[in-house]
A and B are shown apart, each in its own frame.
Chain A
């Protein structure tokens, strides 16, 4: 994640004088206009005026990315963990089913190790070992078959894999759009950007994604230009309350984590109601591999965002998660976490304890 800095950290941040010229001529012309624009509601505008915050321009950034998961040239074709299987007897995507992933915990050599016996299957080789790691991602947990059986249609191995190239691509798109918005803000002479909105949508078809980030560039009237332009999803009354509570927004933060479930035989069977085409069955109960993936995606994105906080606090976090059944037990979970990194800049006493009132209107 590109750290957008904000407030007092100029590292990686756009300084007020940091206009790099990555802004189209139309935008430059608009930003130099005598009239200003803003995305603020009237309420937010009134609240900002009360604080001495004046809008100078609606600023925005765009980035359009090509987007695919498994097509030609997909990183899956180059994953080292499956390289042998892909070129071996299993061949093609079948390599993912019966493939033996080298040094997986338990693995083929010890199919019952941590398998369905005892405490249930799963949890092997958690993010460790030398397999499954590459610049494309890494294995989070691996799962081994309890059946002591190998066959083309039997998934003797499964894993939850973090798809780093997906999250990296998303981050690249978001950071690029965000950076362009901040460059517009710098060109407009802003001190900060408030009421930020970001949208990620498919353009034309699913192979193209557009990242759009926009907000209202503002100046604090009478204040010196800050070392770096700050940004926040908040505006108006909520921004006023945040500052009154002793915090100052530093930067918008957003990230995505993507976890792919390559189902082991038992997961495949349970996702089909307990049976699979090979005739294997599994008792009903928790589908540990899917439960793990749901947790892992959320934890990954939270920890990734936390690593960029520099001791500050993520305020108003919004966690959005989508998942899809890819088929035959396979599964994908994408988690996006966004919020405003805030810093305590002055001490503030707590509010008085609430009192009950009955409102007549």
Chain B
């Protein structure tokens, strides 16, 4: 980071900077603007700033979908209604997030935290993130992007010539297969593959991933980065296994890669023992 443009600020170190600011009573350097909120860390805000973007507002999207009664009895195959409720809740939450981003003049949302709770009769999906926009105040797009990328990841993607497009997700709820008594007895004394289990779980995982990639295609993306997978049995229906996957859809922007070659560095300092705030200036 280079020093500021304030001619009254010594270019020495942070101690001098702080003393200079205190002497002026910490007076604002610009007229008060409309207040804004952001949940980005200072590191993320600085990295965003380095690529010409800034946070605009803290935004959220939420949706609750009903799961019909009676679907958790132990049957075979996928629990279709639960998968549909999950997809519906995620889709609506993402849409609400996008709408709120548009309302505050954002070009997209970064750092989205996805929180999904599945209960017996309810899927609750909540997404919270920071709307961001280019520093120049460009006209926002009609459809802002939604992503769960951190500010750092967003900056790296853009410098690498990629743009986030949206959030893709897919889920599958599947019943663990039943075994006949004879098969269960026969397999109980053998260390063999339980092919019916393998096949059921394999199919469920593939279904969830396929749905996610399908959403990515619908959004016009070329791929999905940062895929996160959540899986496991449901606490209120242990025989049902949930597989959910989501990630950020990206596409090539057409801009050249600005990252350049990778440099190999061998750090000699120990961050735990030495901290030099002046190093923040890039010197």
Contacts and interface: CB of A to CB of B under 8 A. Distances in A.
Interface of A: 7-8, 43, 46-47, 50-53, 191, 220, 222-224, 226-227, 230, 234, 236-238, 240-246, 248, 250, 270-275, 282, 284-287, 290-291, 294-295, 298-299, 302, 305-306, 309-319, 321, 323, 325, 337, 339, 343-361
Interface stretch (B23-31, B141-149, B188-196, B207-215): B23-31
A345 B15 contact: no
B281 A244 contact: yes
A191 B272 CA distance: 27
8 contacts: A224-B22, A244-B1, A272-B121, A284-B85, A286-B65, A350-B50, A356-B260, A361-B267
Nearest to B259: A356
A344 B29 CA distance: 6
Interface string B1-21: 111111001000111011101
Contacts of A315: 38, 42, 45
Interface in B256-283: 258-267, 272, 275-278, 280-282
Contacts of A361: 266-267
A316 B151 CA distance: 13
A326 to B, nearest CB: 13
B5 A349 contact: yes
Interface of B: 1-6, 9, 13-15, 17-19, 21-43, 45-47, 49-52, 57-58, 60-70, 81, 84-85, 88-89, 92, 96, 119-122, 124, 126, 128, 152, 155-156, 159, 258-267, 272, 275-278, 280-282
A359 B85 CA distance: 45
Contacts of B280: 240-241, 244
Given A271-B122, A346-B9, 7 more contacts: A223-B19, A270-B66, A284-B65, A286-B65, A291-B64, A312-B32, A339-B39
Contact of A357 (B39, B81, B263): B263
Nearest to A225: B22
Nearest to A360: B266
Contacts of A237: 275, 277
Contacts of A306: 35-37
B94 to A, nearest CB: 13
Given A240-B280, A286-B63, A313-B36, A354 B155 contact: yes
B23 A313 contact: no
A356 B265 CA distance: 10
Contacts of B58: 302, 314, 317, 319, 337
Contact of A50 (B27, B32, B276): B276
Given A244-B281, A354-B155, A290 B26 contact: no
B121 A345 contact: no
B37 A317 contact: yes
B60 to A, nearest CB: 4
B28 A287 contact: no
A339 B37 CA distance: 9
Contacts of B51: 353-354
A309 B38 CA distance: 12
Contact of A51 (B18, B42, B50, B96): B18
